[in-house]
Amino acid sequence: MKRVILSMLAVFTLVVTSCTSDDTPQGPVVYTPTLGQVVTGSDFTRASNGDYNNNYISNYGTLFTRNGKSTVSYGGQTTRLKQAKIIGSSLKSETSVADIQLMFEGREVGGELQSAGFSDANLNGTTKVVRAKSSSSIGLFGSSKNTSGQGKANVDAIDAFISGHQAVLSDWTTAAASGQAGRFQETGSTSYRYVDAKGRELDQLFTKSLAGALAYDQTVNQYFNRLDSENGDVAGGTKDYRKFNNDGLVVKGKTYTTMEHHWDEAFGYIYGNTGGQNLIYKYIDNVDGLTKFSGVEKDIFEAFVTGRIAIANKDYTVRDAQVATLREKLGLIIAVRAVNYLSAGAKIIDAAAGGTGKRADAFHDICEGYGFVNSLRYLVKGDGTTRYFTDAEVDGYLATLDAGNGLWDVTSTQLRDTADKIAAKGVGGLSWTLDDVNP
């Protein structure tokens, strides 16, 4: 009999739970997989729809259990990622500004903010509203989130991308030109791109800005700052999440501790909608494909898994090491893509000046870069408090892109200079240059 018990202990972690007014006890048996059981190989290739050609995400969602039931849940993050993708797509269609604002902002129903306006009924009537979670982390903006100060300024700028869509709609079939909103066809293309008077594709500005304002800010500056408490505030013990985790106390009616759940919600903002390929997840493999950054995709996923295992094992030193890794490497994805798109736009402008193609062919790349540049303001170093870029720096980069008639006027030299400045910051804790991004 003793041998049977010892054998069980080799597989299961036994946790004795107690009860508080806010938490209820679950079964005493917690199963924690090893890293190798979740990441069963080294294949991080993707199918045509964006999903991994492996079961790593499924393993993450099913192998962590308490009393035989999964302790992983990030459905809210999946909902917001899906909503964000639809809102972005609407900004390159004839959808009205009012309809797009409704999807982004939600509406009050019985005193509660709820999602609304989506053709997919599953995305409506929830408390998951994209704007409410954009530029609203407790780490950067405190309890005011995006209702005042810099948080509000940031989300107001995103609001302006939506309201600016009206000018594009008003000139939907007009030929775009310097100072004139409208549409154009890239060289060799039969489809149209729709831009404002500064040559900006507002769907790209919106979506790539959310890579930082939603996905990164919520993952890194919100949920990683709410693992032990509410950004350092245990609220008289009612929000002492580390103690709850140590005691094995789960959220009332749930299978997970608060710390476990907050970690999984962070995971969800990156991996919650892989088929949709939006925000940060879409670009991790692009960066991984560059020699300088090879292995970053595996590093990011394994850091999430290792951190989750550490939480189950109450090893907060290992957990915090993974947090530092994720702060850096998720930020690296954003910074590298900003540099990539700006420099790609510069090459197209130079080619147009030499008689190949036209200036407007560069606008799509520059607009993607614009959004990623806007996302730089959320990036923090591994310590979680030191920012890589000040708001003034980011605003300065954007001012360069917006000066005069915007993309109709910006020069390739200005684009490369901005890209060089971003690369020089060494986001990711690495020393890298524009040449590492565009060898």
pLDDT exceeding 90 applies to what percent of the chain?
A: 92
Residue 282: closest CA among 330, 326, 327, 344:
330
The pLDDT of 177-200, averaged and rounded, is 98
Q: By 3-state DSSP, what share of the chain in percent is helix, strand and coil, each rounded to 5?
A: 55, 10, 35
pTM over 0.75: yes
| Interval 391-425: pLDDT, tens | 999 999 999 999 999 999 999 999 999 999 999 99
Residue with structure tokens 């149209």?
192
DSSP secondary structure code for residue 387 in this structure:
B
The token pair at 182 is: 């409208």
| Interval 34-49: pLDDT, tens | 999 999 999 999 999 8
pLDDT exceeding 70 applies to what percent of the chain?
A: 94
CB of 309 closer than 8 Å to CB of 34: yes
User: Residue 55 CA to chain centroid, in angstroms?
Assistant: 22
The pLDDT of 373-391, averaged and rounded, is 98
Per DSSP, helices labelled H in 144-255 are 149-163, 165-170, 202-210, 241-247
Q: Is the pLDDT of residue 11 over 80?
A: no
Q: Is the pLDDT of residue 176 over 90?
A: yes
The pLDDT of 259-276, averaged and rounded, is 97
| Interval 329-365: pLDDT, tens | 999 999 999 999 999 999 999 999 999 999 999 999 9
CB of 56 closer than 8 Å to CB of 35: no
Q: Is the pLDDT of residue 20 over 80?
A: no
277 pLDDT tier (thresholds 50, 70, 90): confident
439 pLDDT tier (thresholds 50, 70, 90): confident
pLDDT at 10: 40
- Cα separation of 99 and 81, whole Å? 18
Q: Is the pLDDT of residue 201 over 90?
A: yes
Average pLDDT, the chain: 94
- Return the minimum-mean-pLDDT range out of 2-11, 59-68, 187-196, 202-211: 2-11
- Cα separation of 427 and 190, whole Å? 38
Q: Is the pLDDT of residue 289 over 50?
A: yes
Q: Is the pLDDT of residue 18 over 60?
A: no
Can you name the residues that pair with 65 across neighbouring β-strands?
31, 70
Q: Is the pLDDT of residue 162 over 50?
A: yes
- SS3 call for 90: helix
pLDDT at 14: 41
**Rounded to 5°, angle at Cα 55 from 337 and 302:** 55
The token pair at 119 is: 């053709």
Q: Is the pLDDT of residue 367 over 60?
A: yes
pLDDT at 9: 38
pLDDT at 23: 56
- DSSP assignment of 258-291, as one string? HHHHHHHHHHHHHHTTGGGT-TTHHHHHHHHTSG
Residue with structure tokens 């982004």?
104
Q: Is the pLDDT of residue 302 over 70?
A: yes
pLDDT at 17: 38
C-beta atoms surrounding 202 within 10 Å: 25
CB of 300 closer than 8 Å to CB of 326: yes
pLDDT at 15: 41
